[in-house]
Structure 1
């Protein structure tokens, strides 16, 4: 995995936690309880909470966070163990995208006793084993035959245009690409419309959408667009390619 001094792996459109870490939700004997917030500590209502019975298939419990981002599940009479998950539903164009949120404690919760499982809406960290993160992905490859482009040194700037899927407006960020089994990628990009530019060692590159067996898009100094499900992508992604400008182009 290529290292970078830029803000790669950071979520576009969501900032860092400010101030001291949020205090954990107080425990309530016999209940699984928790609070769901974004990275700024703002409560998130309407988040789906799945309380999955680890001993019996398809017998879990489902609830949703209230206006304060809180939930409570009664397990006083349930002598099982439960794994707790939180899913945030985001609308992007005509698609609904489910994002699993990060728990304060990933361990199972004992029934009868209960426990606290708070969640934060933030990107799942990308690693060399799993470089994709939990949000949108931007895949960037060199154009066919463009062997003079060292894709490992390409820097890509993503500038949000308008509101993103999480309701934020985001800000411009510059990334290097990470290696993945599906090609060079920028993980954890909030879905939306972006202006995308690329450089290699300070030299501007031309960029265009990579097409799946269709008429190639025109090369330009910048690409303006959003995310698609091309190339059998499991989550809406952006597929681009770059090259050095050609004489007369």
Structure 2
């Protein structure tokens, strides 16, 4: 967490180089010389960025965020070999490292936080090597997941075949079938699952971003499953299936919101 502090003149002078670099960037084209990019250097943040298949990822933005001064960062971009190198100055402060990649997919622009090899903060005079990997799903170090969410609501609460039994969303089974490659160009596999709760809502909480054809059925234990009809939240017409893209809710948070009922 950043904090505001009153500084002595000498300390402010020492911090000057960091402030001056708050908007600077590195082209990230430094080559790994067989160990140079893995050897920690004082006053330097460096590392390598990999895509979902473990290959070098160019064009990722890497940010060193000064944990002492407000709005003071050093940023750079990974080069064609995936490496980057950021000069941090000599100020006696601590830093957090993060990275993002931006991708065009089906006419939309998405941003993704990249997974750090080590999420710990570090001091300028220690320097650090922080590698990053693009993950489509999985847990984030600070909580949450890298995948998008497919959330849903039932728009009816009574089973038409059994009016005395309330419907339970836990009995809804979704099937997501990829319509084309996923955002990273890989071939996705159909996903069939039931929802769980999170602070964002009820549904599938960690789904690789792609374009999916969605179907749903109501499948209580010990009973015959029945098809449901679905639509986008607030949409006009229900259908037996729909093909949907994720919507960006906030920065690197993507979601599909659905409603469903019996035909």
Name the TM tier (shorter chain): 0.7 to 0.9
The whole-number CA distance in structure 2 between the counterparts of 1:205 and 1:126 is 34
Residue 225, structure 1, aligned to residue 244, structure 2: yes
The higher radius of gyration belongs to: 2
CA separation of 1:54 and 1:142: change in aligned 2, threshold 3 A:
same
Structure of higher RCO (CA pairs closer than 8 Å, 6+ residues apart): 1
- For the Cα contact (< 8 Å) 2:216–2:230, is it kept in 1? no
CA drift at 1:68:
1.6
Match of 2:73 among 49, 54, 60: 60
Unpaired segments ≥5 residues, structure 1: 1-22
The whole-number CA distance in structure 2 between the counterparts of 1:161 and 1:81 is 45
Residue 36, structure 1, aligned to residue 49, structure 2: yes
The 5 A counterparts of 1:11-90 are: 26-30=38-42, 31-75=44-88, 77-90=90-103
- For the Cα contact (< 8 Å) 1:27–1:33, is it kept in 2? no
The whole-number CA distance in structure 2 between the counterparts of 1:34 and 1:162 is 33
**Deviations along 1:14-61, whole A, 9 cap, x unmatched?**
xxxxxxxxx9x6223222111111343222111100011111112210
The whole-number CA distance in structure 1 between the counterparts of 2:112 and 2:260 is 29
TM norm structure 1: 0.75
Match of 2:147 among 101, 119, 135: 135
Q: Which stretches of structure 1, 4 residues or more, deviate above 6 A after TM superposition?
A: none
- For the Cα contact (< 8 Å) 1:136–1:191, is it kept in 2? yes
Aligned residue pairs: how many? 214
The whole-number CA distance in structure 1 between the counterparts of 2:226 and 2:45 is 53
- For the Cα contact (< 8 Å) 2:47–2:85, is it kept in 1? yes
The whole-number CA distance in structure 2 between the counterparts of 1:120 and 1:240 is 30
- For the Cα contact (< 8 Å) 2:46–2:84, is it kept in 1? yes
**Pairwise CA RMSD:** 2.7
Unpaired segments ≥5 residues, structure 2: 1-34, 160-165
**Deviations along 1:183-234, whole A, 9 cap, x unmatched?**
312123233321112231461422311332x5x31231x22222336xxx43
The whole-number CA distance in structure 2 between the counterparts of 1:141 and 1:126 is 26
- For the Cα contact (< 8 Å) 1:49–1:86, is it kept in 2? yes
- For the Cα contact (< 8 Å) 1:227–1:236, is it kept in 2? yes
The whole-number CA distance in structure 2 between the counterparts of 1:126 and 1:67 is 26
The DSSP-based 3-state class of the residue aligned with 2:170 is: helix
The whole-number CA distance in structure 1 between the counterparts of 2:131 and 2:90 is 22
The whole-number CA distance in structure 1 between the counterparts of 2:210 and 2:237 is 20
